[in-house]
Amino acid sequence: MVKFDLKTGAFWALCGYAAVSAVSITMAEIFYILSLVLWIVLFVKQKDETAFNISKFILIPFSAFIFIHFIAAVFGVDPLNSIKDFKKVYIMGAVFLAAYISRSSLNKEMLMRFFAAGAIFVGGYAFSTGIYHRLIMHEADFRAVSFSGNHMHAGGMLAMACVVLAGFMVAELKSLSVKRLNVLLYSLGSFFAGLGLVFTFTRGSWLAALCGMLIIFFMAGKKYFVIFLVIIAAAGFALKDTAVGKRAMSSFNTNKGTSNIERAYMWESGIKMIKDKPWLGIGTANVGKIYPQYINPEARERQQGHLHNTAIQIAVIDGLLGLAALIWLFVSLLITQIRGALSANGYDKHALFAFFAVTVVFVINGLFEYNLFSSQVALMFWFLTGISLRPRIHGQ
């Protein structure tokens, strides 16, 4: 009989989360909450002080941001509504859970294998539905999604999956003992996630993924980087007159009524909100309540619950203090990841560069979407970040 213990249960529940992280927010939260509960019970029963063993360099800004986010909620324009929404910070707990569960090299490897399998499934689904609706049914406005959320959620998740799995593929190829199964899983996961990403038609996610992949292959070496540039150039040439190419070029369209101008109007409204309540903001989940007071008269999108930019959104709901804490946190994350990568060798070096690239992807995507508390996207980010915060990825 297989012996069951809390730690094993938490590990397998987190593997379940890894497999469905991009599939369904409901399934993802079930596995995540199960793993989280088992981990908390384990901590309470065994008094394991390593459960929250993350560098103070990250823990301090992390705690500062959560504290300011709560204070801003309490003193916001609708405290009850904000405090109710504050519960979303549980998403960020994934960083501690993943860091603890992934302490051994075997656990990390299993988590990434399950994650790759999920990426293959979701990427394949997004790609196949895109082909069917766009090319067979000629539905010009179709944008691929996962099994929950919209195309922007799918774009954010597939961008991170594509980049991190490409990084782990490179790490495996650079390893002294190459595991062919891992190379196959990671390469297929990255490939199908990339194909699915294309059919989401989310330009911000395209840009974020491109930047992440440039980091991955630049750090992999000249040969990898040149091959990647050739592939991108060939793809760009082949797609320039297709819906994909036209969508990419629409990024530079500044005509009235376009999504580009509508977002500029949103950001303008957000800056006005910040000027009125600069320090602690209006509290989370309250943008929709006051947006009509600040809306640009020429804007066509009259109702907004968020402002399609993480920095502006946080400055609005948590004030400039909250934004400063968030910048502090992400700068600390990037420094920790790049330092770890530069001080490592072989597999560990490229795996850590993969996580660094994922953070870059998340930040760039956040320039065009409010992704910090977008449940499915943010949960995936903090899960991957937690794995990165252990000093060794491959060995003990």
> What is the model's pLDDT at position 1?
46
CA distance 174 to 182: 12
Asked if the model's pLDDT at residue 2 lies above 90, the reply is no
Asked if the model's pLDDT at residue 4 lies above 80, the reply is no
* Domain residue limits at 220: 6-253+307-388
What residue has token string 């705690």? 63
> What is the model's pLDDT at position 3?
59
Q: Counting runs of H as helices and runs of E as strands, what totals does the chain give?
A: 16, 0
Tell which residue, 133, 110, 83, 109, has the closest CA to residue 15.
110
Asked if the model's pLDDT at residue 46 lies above 90, the reply is no
Cβ atoms of 227 and 188 closer than 8 Å: no
Asked if the model's pLDDT at residue 377 lies above 50, the reply is yes
Specify if 233 maps to a domain.
Answer: yes
Specify if 276 maps to a domain.
Answer: no
For residue 233, give every residue at least 6 positions away whose Cβ sits within 8 Å of its Cβ, in sequence order, or none: none
pLDDT band for 390, please (50, 70, 90 cuts): confident
pLDDT band for 396, please (50, 70, 90 cuts): very low
For residue 129, give every residue at least 6 positions away whose Cβ sits within 8 Å of its Cβ, in sequence order, or none: 142, 144, 145, 199
Tell which residue, 373, 381, 390, 387, has the closest CA to residue 87.
373
Specify if 209 maps to a domain.
Answer: yes
Specify if 291 maps to a domain.
Answer: no
Across the chain, what does the average pLDDT equal? 94
| DSSP secondary structure string for all residues of 30-48 | HHHHHHHHHHHHHHHHH--
Specify if 286 maps to a domain.
Answer: no
Query: Span 329-341, mean pLDDT?
Result: 97
Query: Span 14-43, mean pLDDT?
Result: 95
> What is the model's pLDDT at position 394?
55
Domain count, the chain: 1
CA distance 265 to 292: 12
pLDDT band for 251, please (50, 70, 90 cuts): very high
Q: What is the pLDDT of residues 211-221, one digit of tens each?
A: 999 999 999 99
> What is the model's pLDDT at position 391?
53
Query: Span 50-76, mean pLDDT?
Result: 92
pLDDT band for 318, please (50, 70, 90 cuts): very high
Specify if 324 maps to a domain.
Answer: yes
Q: Which residue type does 183 have?
A: V
Asked if the model's pLDDT at residue 107 lies above 60, the reply is yes
Query: Span 260-288, mean pLDDT?
Result: 97
Specify if 282 maps to a domain.
Answer: no
Specify if 372 maps to a domain.
Answer: yes
